Amino acid sequence: MSQLKNDRYLRALQCLPVDYTPIWMMRQAGRYLPEYRQLRAKANDFMTMCQTPELACEVTLQPLRRFDLDAAIIFSDILTIPDAMGLGLYFEVGEGPKFAKSISQLSDIEKLPIPDPQLSLGYVMDAIRLTKKELNGKVPLIGFSGSPWTLATYMIEGGSSKSFTKIKKMLYSHPEALHLLLEKLATSVALYLNAQIEAGAQSIMIFDTWGGVLSHQSYQTFSLNYMQLILSNLKRGNKTQNVTSYVPVTFFTKGGGLWLDSIINTGCDAIGVDWTVNLSDIRQKGKVAVQGNLDPSILYADRQTIESNVDAVLKEYGTNNGHIFNLGHGIHQDTPVEHVQYLIEAVHQRSKRFHHD
C-alpha cells in the first residue's frame, strides 16, 4: 500500500503541525456536481448507487478530480444500518429517506437483528476497498455512520421529521424501549465502523444530525452515552510517528454547541461543530481537534464574501494546531461549483500564515 501523499487531514486530527489548514466538505460528493447528477440519472435510484461499489467509488472520487480537497469520504448513507436491520430504506424524489417499516413498540425493537457488516453491509466495505485502491494514497479516506440517536429518529418517525414527536413520545413514556433500540444500534454501529476500518477507512466520523433536538438533560443520556459506547469498542490502533497507524474519530452533533465540554470528555479525537459555535471557545479548552464551521449558505455569496468569511473562521481558531476546515453542515445542492473552488483556494492560501511548519 502506497504512503499517503497528503496526510494533512490526519495530522490535523491528531493536533500535529501542518503547513496549511486542511479542508473537506460534508456532502462533497453530491447533487451540486453536474457529473453526480448525470450518474444518478443513469443509476436511476440512490440506493443502487450506494449498493454498487463501482458507482459508490466513482461518486466518492468525483469531487477529488475537480478540487484540491484534503480528504475523501466514502459515498454511502447514514441509514444503511436500519436498512440492514430489515426496515426497507427507499428514497422518494424531493422527500428524502423513508422506511417501508417503522418501529413503534418494544416488540418491534426486540425482533430487530444486529446486522453482520460483512454480509448485509458488505457493499460498503467493497466500496471502501475499491476507493482506497483508486485513491492510491492521494488523500485519506473517511468512513462514517449515523449516531444511534439519529438512526433511531428515522426508524421511529419512519423518515425525516420536523417535530420528532414519535421518538420523544417513546423517550418520555417508554424509555426502556428506546434504550434497548439505542443499545442495539450502538452494537451495530461499532461492528460496522470496525469493518470499515478493517476495509481501509483511515478516519471515522459519527454524524449525530438530530442530537440538537434533545433537551439538555436528555442529550447525554440518549445520544452522547451511546456514541461513547461505540468509541470504547472501536479499533483505533496506536499513535506513532506514522499518522496512518491510528484511526481518529470525529463526533459531530448538529446544534450541539451547548454540550462541547461533555463531547470533548468522551475521548473522541475531534469535535465537528456547526456555524453557531465560536471556534475560540473550543480552542481554549484544548484536548481535541476541531472541524468546522462555515455556514454552507455563504457559498451563495460572491468570491470576496466567501474569502472574508474564510478569514474570519481561520482567525477565530488562530495559530493552534488541530483545525480541519469544513462547512457547519452539508453543502446545498444548488451551490455554484466555482464557489466551492473559491472556498478551497481561500482556505489553502489564507491559512498558511496561521501555521509554522
Ligand-binding site membership of 30 (annotated) = yes
Ligand-binding site membership of 270 (annotated) = no
CA distance 307 to 298: 10
CA distance 225 to 255: 17
Contact 289, 323 (CB under 8 A): yes
Ligand-binding site membership of 28 (annotated) = yes
Of 131, 138, 120, nearest to 73 by C-alpha is 131
Ligand-binding site membership of 311 (annotated) = no
Ligand-binding site membership of 357 (annotated) = no
Torsional class of 86: left (φ above 0), alpha (ψ -120 to 50), beta (otherwise): left
Helices (H), the chain: 8-13, 34-43, 46-51, 53-66, 80-82, 106-111, 122-135, 148-157, 165-173, 175-199, 216-219, 225-232, 260-264, 279-283, 303-317, 337-350
Ligand-binding site membership of 334 (annotated) = no
To the nearest 10°, the Cα dihedral for 250, 255, 258, 264?
0
Of 27, 22, 1, nearest to 252 by C-alpha is 27
Contact 220, 261 (CB under 8 A): no
Strands 203-208 and 249-253, how do they pair?
parallel
Catalytic machinery residues: 27, 31, 40, 77, 154
Ligand-binding site membership of 165 (annotated) = no
Ligand-binding site membership of 129 (annotated) = no
Three cell numbers at 156?
Answer: 421511529
Contact 126, 54 (CB under 8 A): no
Ligand-binding site membership of 31 (annotated) = yes
- Binding residues are 27-31, 77, 154, 209, 329
- Binding residues for substrate are 27-31, 77, 154, 209, 329
